[in-house]
Amino acid sequence: MRINLPRWLIVAAALSIVACTPSQDRSYASKFVSGNTVVHEVFWGADHDTPYPFTTSGEISCVYYPTGIEVYFEPAGYSKDSSIGTPLNKAAADALKRDGMEPNVPYSIKEGADLSEAVKVGLRLCDGTYGEV
C-alpha cells in the first residue's frame, strides 16, 4: 500500500488555511454580541462613583438578543457554560423566568447595593463602548 504523502500534505495545509481564515460574513456578529469584564472591589472605585455592589470578585457579562441586552454577574470561578449568573437587569431576569431557569452561582450582591453602575458596565460591553465612556 503506497501513501501519496505530498497529496495528503497539500490537503491538510489547505484545510488548515481555510479553517483559520476569519469569516467575511458579519451578519451573525450583528445579531449576537456578548462580552464580559472582570470586576474586583479594589479597582472598582477608580472608574465608578458607586460602592462595589458585590460580595466577591467576578465577571459582569452581557448577551445581546433582539428582546434586549441581558446583564449578569458571576463570581470568580463560576464562569462556565453550566453556570447561570445572577441577573443584574430586567431583561436578564425576564429571560431566566421565561426559560424556567434560576441562577446557580452563590448570591453575591451586597444587600441594598446600587447596581446601576454594574448594569452600565454590562450594557457598554454589548454596545462595544466599554472603556470609551
Helices (H), the chain: 5-20, 27-31, 41-47, 90-98, 116-127
- Phi/psi at 64 (nearest 5 deg)? -95, 125
Give Cα 47 to chain centroid, integer Å.
Answer: 20
User: Among the listed ranges 24-38, 64-78, 118-132, which one has the minimum average pLDDT value?
Assistant: 24-38
Q: What local confidence, expressed as pLDDT, does residue 71 receive?
A: 93
Give Cα 85 to chain centroid, integer Å.
Answer: 10
Q: Is 56 exposed, middle or buried (0-12, 13-18, 19+ CB in 10 A)?
A: middle
Q: What local confidence, expressed as pLDDT, does residue 108 receive?
A: 81
Q: What local confidence, expressed as pLDDT, does residue 66 receive?
A: 79
* Number of helices followed by number of strands (H, E) in the chain: 5, 4
Residues 30, 90: Cα–Cα separation, whole Å:
22
pLDDT band at 64 (very low <50, low <70, confident <90, very high): confident
Residues 39, 55: Cα–Cα separation, whole Å:
11
C-alpha cell at position 15: 484545510
pTM, two decimal places: 0.69
Per-residue pLDDT for 129 more than 80?
no
68: left (phi over 0), alpha (psi -120 to 50) or beta: left
